[in-house]
A and B are shown apart, each in its own frame.
Chain A
Amino acid sequence: MAKTKTNTEDYLRMYRQMVRIRSFEDNANQLYLSAKMPGLTHMYSGEEAVAVGICEALEVTDKITSTHRGHGHCVAKGANFKEMFCELLGKEEGYCRGKGGSMHIADQSNGNLGANAIVGGSMGIATGSAFTAKLLGKDDVTVCFFGDGATAQGLLYEVMNMAALWNLPVIYACENNGYSEYTKTEEIAAGSITARAEAFGIEAHQIDGQDVLAVNELTQKLVARARKGEGPFFMELMTYRYHGHHVGDINREYYRSKEEEKEWKENRDPIIKFRGWLIEQGIASEDEIETMNAEIRQDAAEAVAYAEAAPYPDEIEVDMHVFTDVKHALA
């Protein structure tokens, strides 16, 4: 694995953040299976090295835009389990007071401008956030997360064109998990994805999205250059989605085999891979890692219990926040 951050604490935080994402998703899936969660949700499990490798290269003031498969980005950018689970369950203490849910979870305090339920819907927002930084002379960088499926949306090409024309500090991070909903990416994407960015003169990199250190190293370099006005950049991160398109997509052998899933889970898992490296490098022992894992599982379990017991928003909130300056839009 590529070696970037030299601080032991940084490595351990990266590991912890990846396990936190996996743990969050395991619980979210369980909430769905036990019919405790309203609606559906889209699991990030398997892609942890992407969100963590990228977000660990960002400052709190840097911005991200996220996707319908957004829990991983939210955790990686610094969100708390408690407010996240509350949001997933539609509770008042959720990040969005229960009004957004899994697909719209946002955490402005950490620069997460929100998940988006329209595939590709946040590409304009991310580019606009970078525009703000340039106009106001701020040095923050925006990372736009989206999947391979979203590369089929025209909006991407419109905003990449503008970002390239105006050298905006934005990094387009394409999480290529091999599937566009229930369809293989090769069936929906002609040619090369990175070449599309290169056509606008945008420097593009394809990288192993299961290698958190490699992702982090590249992102650190690109972020530093974007801050200096050398952006935009494009990254295609090759990764894998362990679950179906959403938690209800269980019988999926018609579009991908169990053997393929097994191969990724057993031999290309980003957490197992990084854990092995940490032990091999003497950064953490098996026991220390197991202790960390147990602590995170415990945190998640407590947050789930908290969220389950937390109150729903009062009905009076239904017409609040329609407009910024009107307390109750229907009063």
Chain B
Amino acid sequence: MREITLSQAVNEALAEEMRRDETVFIIGEDVAEAGTPFKILSGLVEEFGTERVVDTPIAEPGFMGLAVGAAMTGTRPVVDLMFGDFIYLIMDQLCNQAAKTHYMSGGKMSAPMVLRTNMGATRRSAAQHSQSLHALVAHIPGLKVAMPSSAYEAKGLLKTAIRDNNPVVIFEDKLMYQDKAPVPEEEFLIPFGEANIKREGSDITLIATSSMVQVCEAAAKILAKEGIEAEVIDPRTIVPLDEDTLIASAKKTSRVIVVDEGHQSYGITGEIAGRINEKAFYHLDAPVLRMGAMDVPIPFSPALEDITVPTPEGVAENARKLMSGEMIHAA
């Protein structure tokens, strides 16, 4: 199968959906001729024109609010939010308006739109361009949240998101834009709420989102050499969450680590750990472990930044502890 970058996968998904449905348009800062600072959208304005690839002023609440109204009245906006960190700027439009439109109107109105943004540290971008804020969004009823872990997922999930009749937020890891993965030439969609078992194993379950899937696959390789078989599961969407697949794996292996790049406290890792505790408690041989980003603003210095996010070695180390029973007492 051919391999393309995550950036190309996003571009293809948008082009295909814009050809299929003329109500789909892209809106955001420097999305047209510039194709975004990451050059993800290059070529789209040439094909679809500035009416459908809309450059905006630097006014995130403004264009986000505009997109909500456009979605409510018959179009399917794909909002490009240059950095995930800017989500704080659009919180009212996303969480008070888009997320609640369908519910507050008793099901009469809806806001079918996609917010594409990014996440991920270790790009030396410091505290306001490095955050992974998906937990903030996943907390709000009415929003769906997708977290692609490779080019394949980036394409399939984005196409599904554009066709979804609800507001969907997609967090792409900005460090993965140039990573290649096999992506079929023919059209495909990835349904929401279906986890992907990336690697089967019987000893311990590693549940990982976005780039942490790669981290956990690397950890699984380290552990395999030591005779520990780790199962790696990528939920792909955290809202909706494929709880059944996660619970079944927890029951099978009896040990679980949840790895995610959002801050650990009050984050996705705690949420998933909580659900496993509630539904697989008697099958567990050890407490479910959370591994998120450190609860500190992301520092600039590489010496500091690199230690704030989970690494394969760190995941493997915690897996060993769980296997040896050490964590039972630590808990």
By a beta-carbon cutoff of 8 Å, the part of chain A in contact with chain B is 63, 65, 94-100, 104, 106, 108, 113-114, 116, 118, 121-133, 135-136, 142, 154-155, 158-159, 161-162, 165, 320-326, 329
Contacts and interface: CB of A to CB of B under 8 A. Distances in A.
Contact of A162 (B63, B72, B166): B63
Contacts of B141: 322, 329
B65 interface: yes
B62 A124 contact: yes
B105 A155 contact: no
Interface string B249-284: 000000000000000000000000000000000000
Contacts of A329: 141
Task: State the 7 A-B residue pairs at the shortest beta-carbon distance, nearest first.
Answer: A124-B65, A128-B69, A158-B62, A97-B106, A125-B69, A158-B59, A128-B70
A106 B108 contact: yes
A124 B97 CA distance: 10
B61 A132 contact: no
B72 A125 contact: yes
16 contacts: A99-B103, A99-B105, A106-B104, A106-B105, A118-B92, A123-B65, A124-B97, A125-B65, A131-B75, A132-B74, A135-B51, A135-B52, A136-B75, A155-B61, A162-B59, A321-B107
B56 A162 contact: yes
A98 B105 CA distance: 9
Q: B25, B97, B105, B112 — which one has the most chain A CB atoms within 10 A of its CB?
A: B105
A121 B97 contact: yes
A99 B166 CA distance: 18
A114 B57 contact: no
Contacts, number: 151
Interface string B107-150: 11110100000000000000000000000000001101000000
Nearest to A99: B106
Contacts of A99: 103-106
Interface in B1-48: 23, 25
A114 B61 contact: no
Q: B72, B77, B92, B110 — which one has the most chain A CB atoms within 10 A of its CB?
A: B72
B96 interface: yes
B142 A100 contact: no
Q: B57, B66, B144 — which one has the most chain A CB atoms within 10 A of its CB?
A: B66
Nearest to B69: A128
Interface string B68-80: 1111111101000
Nearest to A104: B104
Given A95-B106, A106-B109, A158-B57, A324 B165 contact: yes
Interface residues of B, number: 45
Contacts of A124: 61-62, 64-69, 93, 97
B57 A323 contact: no
A323 B144 contact: yes
Nearest to A103: B104
Contact of A96 (B105, B110, B144): B105
A281 B92 CA distance: 49
B109 to A, nearest CB: 6
Q: A118, A162, A326 — which one has the most chain B CB atoms within 10 A of its CB?
A: A162
A304 to B, nearest CB: 20
Contacts of A108: 105, 108-109
B102 A324 contact: yes
B313 interface: no
Given A121-B96, A154-B61, A158-B59, A135 B70 contact: yes
Contacts of B105: 95-96, 99-100, 104, 106, 108, 114, 321
A154 B62 CA distance: 9
Given A128-B66, A136-B23, A329-B141, 10 more contacts: A121-B97, A124-B64, A127-B66, A131-B75, A158-B59, A323-B144, A324-B102, A324-B110, A325-B164, A326-B240
Q: A106, A133, A142, A154 — which one has the most chain B CB atoms within 10 A of its CB?
A: A106
A263 B10 CA distance: 62
Nearest to A313: B106
Given A323-B102, A324-B166, A132 B63 contact: no
Contact of A125 (B63, B68, B75, B112): B68
B103 A322 contact: yes
A125 B97 contact: yes
A263 B107 CA distance: 44
A233 B41 CA distance: 33
A63 B63 CA distance: 19
A126 B110 CA distance: 15
B190 to A, nearest CB: 16
A127 B65 contact: yes
B73 A132 contact: yes
Nearest to A116: B97
B70 A131 contact: yes
A129 B69 contact: yes
A108 B62 CA distance: 23
A25 to B, nearest CB: 22
B97 to A, nearest CB: 6
B59 to A, nearest CB: 4
B166 A325 contact: yes
B229 to A, nearest CB: 35
